[in-house]
Amino acid sequence: MDIKSGFVATIGNTPLIRLNSFSEATGCEILGKAEFLNPGGSVKDRAALFIIKDAEEQGLLQPGGTVVEGTAGNTGIGLAHICNAKGYKCLIIIPETQSQEKMDMLRTLGAEVRPVPAVPYKNPDNYVKLSARIAAETPNAIWANQFDNLANRRAHYETTGPEIWAQTDGQVDGWVAATGTGGTYAGAAMFFKDKNPDIRCVVADPMGSGLYSYVKTGEISTSGNSITEGIGNSRVTANMAGAPADDAIQVNDHEALQAVYQLLYKDGLFMGGSVGINVGAAVKLAKQMGPGHTIVTILCDSGARYQSRLFSQDWLKSKELWSDSLLPSNF
Ligand code: PMP
């Protein structure tokens, strides 16, 4: 028998998918870890679980307690699911500028959603800082603190990295992924370098994020912007600090969209925008390294979460990002 014990035991052990059209075009094996198949629908299920388990092990979270986080996205969705499965309350602090769909989704999952005014990070009432204060004032509560809580990258050092290693028999030449908190990239990169320092570890970065310049020059500087969600940063989080990075590759929104639509129409994979950045960067890395290499990246979440944006011609036109090259007949 092969039966998983509930939601929590279903997190991880995702397939590693050969991205056929991209592999054939580059002569490399371009492989995507299918994190959209996690039960909460994204790569963030792993971090959410490790953060909660870590708090339980430290005795910070007792039965019936509350998990508090400032988040607008996949981490909140992962936390809300796990809280239901483990009997905790989930309190999500969210900027009131976020879409109604996201708030409705979290409420449907049973989380308490507290919208707060959107103010910059340096303001003490910024939603992330507020979430820390609210957690501190709430009895039997933890602040998940995904950006700086190292349980996040440990999830990927202990699970994502070893799974990829086993699935490829250790035949990995390159690892490339975009970063939000940095947990996924850093945890897997640290694991790969421990196994084989020759594995090339490369940060993928959207426009408007400061990590490309940070890896290249040691200084954060930003230019441009991106419609991708959940990735890019203008600071080095605790999860990214000290992570090995041999190089960084920047991918713009046109390139990311071309990759997202090729995944959809040639590979049958309906993916979100951060996957476009990841796969766009994997193709650039394949061209740099040359044919015959195996390059691994992350398929973070599904396109269904972005249907009204990434997959709406009208919306893309409003952002001046539509191109007829995205029509199905071009693939
Ligand atoms: N893609 C998506 C869609 C995400 O929501 C996130 C997390 N914010 C990431 C990629 C990046 O993951 P990490 O936080 O581990 O860097």
Q: Model pTM?
A: 0.97
Is 44 catalytic? The answer is yes
| Residue 178, strand partner residues | 204
- Show pLDDT as tens, one digit a residue, over the chain (331 residues): 999 999 999 999 999 999 999 999 999 999 999 999 999 999 999 999 999 999 999 999 999 999 999 987 899 999 999 999 999 999 999 988 887 888 899 999 999 999 999 898 889 999 999 999 999 999 999 999 999 999 999 999 999 999 999 999 999 999 999 999 999 999 999 999 999 999 999 999 999 999 999 999 999 999 999 999 999 999 999 999 999 999 999 999 999 999 999 999 999 999 999 999 999 999 999 999 999 999 999 999 999 999 999 999 999 999 999 999 999 999 9
Q: Do domains 8-42+156-330 and 44-143 have the same CATH topology?
A: yes
The HSE-up count of residue 230 (CA atoms within 13 Å, CB side) is: 26
- CB 100, CB 77: distance < 8 Å: no
**Cα of 266 from ligand 1 centre, angstroms:** 24
Enclosing H/E stretch for 101: helix 100-108
The predicted pLDDT at position 100 comes to: 82
State whether the beta carbon of 74 lies less than 6 angstroms from ligand 1.
Answer: yes
**Cα of 237 from ligand 1 centre, angstroms:** 13
The predicted pLDDT at position 120 comes to: 86
Report the alpha-carbon distance of residue 279 to residue 273 in Å, rounded. Answer: 10
21, exposed or middle or buried, with CB in 10 Å at 0-12, 13-18, 19+? middle
Could you say which of 4, 33, 44, 287 is catalytic?
Answer: 44
Domain coordinates in residue numbering, the chain: 8-42+156-330, 44-143
**Cα of 1 from ligand 1 centre, angstroms:** 34
State whether the beta carbon of 45 lies less than 6 angstroms from ligand 1.
Answer: no
The predicted pLDDT at position 97 comes to: 81
Nearest CA to ligand 1 atom 2: 230
The predicted pLDDT at position 169 comes to: 98
Q: Which atom of ligand 1 is nearest to the CA of 229?
A: 3
The predicted pLDDT at position 316 comes to: 98
Report the alpha-carbon distance of residue 15 to residue 35 in Å, rounded. Answer: 8
Q: Residue 279: phi, psi to the nearest 5?
A: -75, -35
Report the alpha-carbon distance of residue 158 to residue 31 in Å, rounded. Answer: 20
Domain 44-143: give its CATH architecture: 3-Layer(aba) Sandwich (3.40)
Nearest CA to ligand 1 atom 11: 180
Q: How many CB atoms lie within 10 A of CB 297?
A: 28
Q: Per residue in 48-91, pLDDT tens? A: 999 999 999 999 999 999 999 998 789 999 999 999 999 999 99
| Residue 201, strand partner residues | 175
- CB 232, CB 274: distance < 8 Å: no
- CB 205, CB 178: distance < 8 Å: yes
Nearest residue to 286 (alpha-carbon basis) of 166, 170, 176, 163: 176
Query: In degrees, to the nearest 5, what angle opens at C-alpha 24 toward C-alphas 279 and 20?
Result: 60
Q: Residue 289: phi, psi to the nearest 5?
A: -80, -25
- What top-level class would CATH report for the domain 8-42+156-330? alpha beta
State whether the beta carbon of 179 lies less than 6 angstroms from ligand 1.
Answer: yes
Tokens encoding 222: 């930003």
**Cα of 282 from ligand 1 centre, angstroms:** 17
Report the alpha-carbon distance of residue 242 to residue 126 in Å, rounded. Answer: 26
Residue tagged 């061209």 (tokens) = 287
The predicted pLDDT at position 155 comes to: 98
108, exposed or middle or buried, with CB in 10 Å at 0-12, 13-18, 19+? exposed
Q: Which atom of ligand 1 is nearest to the CA of 182?
A: 16
